[in-house]
Structure 1
């Protein structure tokens, strides 16, 4: 069990300030239950004492550590497919905030939020796997950059809305509110990471184990 993941999940339990201790227990099915208010339940044991800080600050620190974990995979995919690592980081930041277990209401999965059709198209066996997801998402970005002759805005728009929508819009950003908000957001991240010389991590990256995600249940008191 990785306590960094526990901290990130437990912060969702808090309100405006993250200051509660974090308690956990594992049930008979191997599911990890987390809470910041054990409410007298003697199954919980304290696993982490968190400092008092605004939730936004705590989440930013968690995201910074999560970014660092995936930089080796991102750099490998960038070299393999000829896509800027800054762009890969920008898409991951906008899509999932470096949450490898993210699932959207539309069924997009993982770090780069791949829908099943895109995952199948680019040979992604397990969209929850950071290795598979980053490789598949980067291959898709490389494809879109070729389709739109290196036009970054159109490639990013197509990542969100699909190539067909961009083409039908006359090779412009489609008139969808979501896409028109998404493109400048990704490009802002892209410029930020370019300014960091392509290094989106503030600390040295650690190897990522390509394993199935652990099921975590966040329990209410």
Structure 2
């Protein structure tokens, strides 16, 4: 495909939009802004679709970089391993790592978050063993800890956007917002960045996931 129709649909949705979808028995992926029938499950729940301040149209360049960068390829086996083990999408993990650290394995934030997925010490205490928490900077441990956290957040909030918001702003902020993305500019921008890259990665890999993509009004 020449464009990313799924990404275009997501970006065209109004504020507080929903997105529903399923892949049928013939391999066709179907997406719609409402639940057209019982086959559809909610993919996005009320995400705020704002444009990210200062964002440029560098999506194609970023996707190309993710395809060829040695630092990205080096950790993909651990991304796939963690995705399989914890039941989360490898492309979503890939997008989170790109936004959180730019695949810089030694990244450290002023708040003490470390590694590829920017895991805080508090998160490590909750989702990693004591031995792993002491080695959180190591890429495989960092990715597994982040994947375990993401899987837990998605079970709790039952939507990708709310889980990403909880990742950024904390579970309490999402609960106070009614289990939706809170009205926090930094968090909304973070969720939007991850989702834009995630959907682009999904569409790029669509031939391997489904034979065709069908968008329903």
Q: What is the TM-score of this pair, normalised by structure 1?
A: 0.60
- 8 Å CA contact retained: 1:125, 1:132: no
Q: Partners of 2:113 and 2:152 in 1: how far apart?
A: 19
The correspondence of residues 35-54 of structure 1 with structure 2, limited to 5 A, is: none
User: In the alignment, is residue 163 of structure 1 matched against residue 171 of structure 2?
Assistant: yes
Partner of 2:198: 190
The correspondence of residues 1-221 of structure 1 with structure 2, limited to 5 A, is: 60=65, 64-123=69-128, 124-149=133-158, 151-197=159-205
Q: Identify the structure with bigger relative contact order (alpha carbons < 8 Å, sequence gap 6+).
A: 2
Q: Partners of 1:130 and 1:85 in 2: how far apart?
A: 15
Structure with higher Rg: it is 1
State the SS of the aligned residue for 2:69.
helix
Q: Partners of 2:66 and 2:164 in 1: how far apart?
A: 27
Q: Partners of 1:141 and 1:61 in 2: how far apart?
A: 21
Please give the per-residue CA displacement for 1:135-178, whole angstroms capped at 9, x wherever unaligned. 000000000000012x0110111110111110011122111111
Deviation, structure 1 residue 196: 3.0
Deviation, structure 1 residue 86: 0.6
Q: What is the root-mean-square deviation of aligned Cα atoms in Å?
A: 2.4
Deviation, structure 1 residue 125: 3.4
In terms of fraction of residues, the more helix-rich structure is 2
Equivalences, count:
142
List runs of 5+ in structure 2 lacking aligned partners: 1-60, 207-217
List runs of 5+ in structure 1 lacking aligned partners: 1-55, 199-221
Deviation, structure 1 residue 61: 8.0
Q: Partners of 1:97 and 1:134 in 2: how far apart?
A: 14
Q: What is the TM-score of this pair, normalised by structure 2?
A: 0.61
Q: Partners of 1:192 and 1:115 in 2: how far apart?
A: 28
- 8 Å CA contact retained: 1:109, 1:128: yes
